[in-house]
Chains A and B, each alone.
Chain A
C-alpha cells in the first residue's frame, strides 16, 4: 500500500501569544497615531515623514531582516499581521515597499545599505514589474532615491540624487515614473538567482499588500455597519433592511476570507514555499476583489454621504483600487493559479 500520501495537515489559524503581541503593538500604534486627519494631511503625496521616523524608531522597517543585519528576524507571518494593521489605518508611509526591498537587498547580499534603510533615511522602491525598456510607474517611487528592477537576467539597483516627480493619482500613493536607464546602476545579482530573488520580493509585496487590503476592507465594512446602525430612513435604521444588511454581510464574508487565506499563504511561503504555490496568487487575487467589494459597498451604504470627499470611507475607497493595481491586473494571478493546477504533481488532497 502506498504510504507516501499518509499526510494530514494541521489547519490551525490561531495566533500565538507572540503573534498577538506583534499584532496588538502595531494595532495600538497605528490606531493612536494615524487618524483620518493625518492621512488627509499627507495628501496628495501620501507620505508623512514624521510617521516614517516613528516607524523606523520602532524597528518596523527592519524587523523582517535577520538579527545579524539589524532586524528582528520576523517571519512573513508576523509581517503579514503588521501589514494588516497598516492597511486598517491607511498609514501614509511606504512600509510594505521598503520592508520588501530591504529583504531583497539582504538576500542579494547588498547589506551595506541596510542600516540607512532601517533607520528610515533611505527609501527603496521595488519595481513590481520586470523592466520592459519603457518607464514604469513605481510604487513608493516618488519618495525613493533607489529603485530595484529586474532588467533581463540582472537585478539592478537604480539610484538617483533625488526622487523623480510625484504623479498625482486617485489613491494618493507616492507614485512616480522611473526610467531605469537614468541614474547610477548597480547590478545586485544576475542569472537564475537574480530572477528568484526578484520573484520572491514580488510575492512578498503581494502577500503584505493582500494583508493590507484585507485590513482596509475590514475597516470599511465596520464603518458602513456603524453607519447603517444609526442612519434612519422610513422610521428605522437602514441596517434593518436586508438589502443593506445582506450586502454588508457579503463584504464581511469576503474580507474575513481574504484575511485568513493571506495568513495561510504567508505560513506556507515562510515554512514550505514549494508545497502550495497557488496560495500567494490566490491570496492577492482574492484580497483585491474582497477589498474592492467592501469599499464599493461601504461607499454605497453611506449613500450621498459616502460620495462626499470629507467622509472617511472615501479615503478607503480611493486607496483600495490604487493598491490593487500597482503590480498590474490582479486577475493575472489566475494564470499563476492555473500553472499550479496543471503542474505535474499528484492531485492535492483537501486535508
Chain B
C-alpha cells in the first residue's frame, strides 16, 4: 500500500514542463470554447502535433514512432492533457483497439496502419452496437459474406461514437448466421472503402454519435482480424479492457476501471460547485455543505471501488449527484454556457446531461451487475427464457 508522491527525476520534470507548455500553447481557451460549442471533441491538428512528438504511442521507442516515455511520464501526459481538456477523443479508442490489431491483424494491415497510428494519421472507432443489439453485442446482424479474396458487407451499425474523426472501423460482423458467438468475424475497415456512409445522431449529452451504413461494401480479406468465426475471441481483449474487468494494481493507474473517468468528472463538478457557492457567499449554509460533502464522498467511494464494481457506482453516483447539484444551485443551473446568468461556465448544466450516457455505453450498468453477480460473486446464471410464442 502506498499513496506517496512519486519521486520526479530531472528528465521527468523536464518532460512535464514540456507537456504543460504544449497544453498552454496548443489547447487554447479559444479551442476549448470552440470544442464546447460545436460538440466536436477531437481536434485533428492538435492530435497530429501529439503524433509528431511521439505522444500517441508514448511508451513506444522513438524508432517505432513513440517517445520512449516511462510509465510515469505516460501517466503525467494523460493527466495533463485531461486536465487541459485537450480534445483528442480518438486517442482512447485507437489505443484500446490497437492491441487486437497487433495480435490478430495480417502483416499487410499492420504495415498499413501501425506507424500511421503513432503519427495520428490512423484513428479507430468501435463497431459493436447495432439498432437491434447493444449490450447483447454478440447478436450483431450486419452481414459479411465471403467472395473469393474479398468480403461483401451489408447492414448497419448504430451509436458508433467518434466515426466522424476516424479512419478505420473496428467492425464486428456476422459471417455465419447459423451460429451466435462462433458466427462472428472482426475486421478493421478503412472508412474510405466505397459503400460506407456515416450519419450523425444527436444525443442529450451534446456528443455526436453515428449510424454507419454498409451497402455492398467490398473489403479485401487482409482487413480481417483473426480467423473467420473467431471474432468473439478477437474482440475479447478490447472489450475486457473497456469494461475494466481487471483492476489496475500497478499503483500508476486507477483501480476503478472505466469508472475512473466518470469519477474524475464528478470530483471536478463538486469542486466547481463548491467554488461557485463560495463565490456567492453560501459556503456556510449547512445544506450546501451537506450536499456537497455527500457528493464528494460518493466520488471518493467510486474511486475506491475496483474494476467492474467501480464502473457501476461511478456512473450511478455521477447521475445522482449531477442531478442533486442542479437542485442545489437552483434554476440558473439549467442555463447552458453562453446563456445569461450561466453558473460555473455551464459545467453543472452539461455534466447532468453527460452523466446519463456513462451508465449505458460500454455495456449498461444492468449488464455490469449481471457480470459481477456471475463472475465476481459466483452466482448462477439466470436461465434463458423460453422463446415467447407469437399468438
Contact = CB atoms under 8 A, between A and B. Distances in A.
B20 to A, nearest CB: 6
A337 B293 CA distance: 6
A242 B13 contact: no
A245 B379 contact: yes
Interface stretch (A4-12, A45-53, A93-101): A4-12
A218 B201 CA distance: 43
Interface stretch (A137-145, A152-160, A278-286): A278-286
Given A14-B249, A225-B378, A249-B373, A335 B301 contact: no
Contacts of A27: none
A183 interface: no
A342 B270 CA distance: 11
Interface stretch (A169-177, A257-265, A304-312): A257-265
B9 to A, nearest CB: 12
Interface residues of A, number: 58
Given A13-B249, A245-B373, A347-B271, A341 B383 contact: no
Contact of B380 (A8, A13, A237, A248): A237
A339 B380 CA distance: 45
Contacts of A248: 373, 377, 379
Contact of A3 (B13, B255, B383): B13
Interface stretch (B33-41, B105-113, B306-314, B339-347): B306-314
Contacts of A252: 309, 372, 376-377
Interface string A245-259: 110111011001110
Given A248-B379, A334-B290, A338-B290, A350 B1 contact: no
A248 B373 CA distance: 8
A240 B383 contact: yes
User: Interface size bucket, B side?
Assistant: 35 or more
Contact of A242 (B17, B250, B293, B369): B369
Interface of A is mostly: helix
A9 B1 contact: no
A8 B20 CA distance: 14
B382 A264 contact: no
A8 B21 CA distance: 18
Nearest to A12: B251
Most buried by B among A6, A19, A260, A267: A260
Interface of A: 1, 3, 6-16, 19, 77, 225, 228-229, 236-237, 239-242, 245-246, 248-250, 252-253, 256-258, 260-261, 263-264, 267-268, 271-272, 278-279, 282, 285-286, 334-335, 337-338, 341-342, 347-351
24 contacts: A10-B2, A10-B6, A10-B251, A11-B251, A11-B254, A12-B251, A13-B249, A16-B1, A242-B373, A242-B382, A248-B379, A252-B376, A256-B305, A256-B309, A260-B304, A261-B301, A264-B3, A282-B297, A286-B300, A286-B301, A337-B297, A338-B293, A342-B289, A350-B267
Which 4 A-B residue pairs are closest in the complex by CB-CB distance? A12-B251, A338-B289, A245-B373, A337-B293
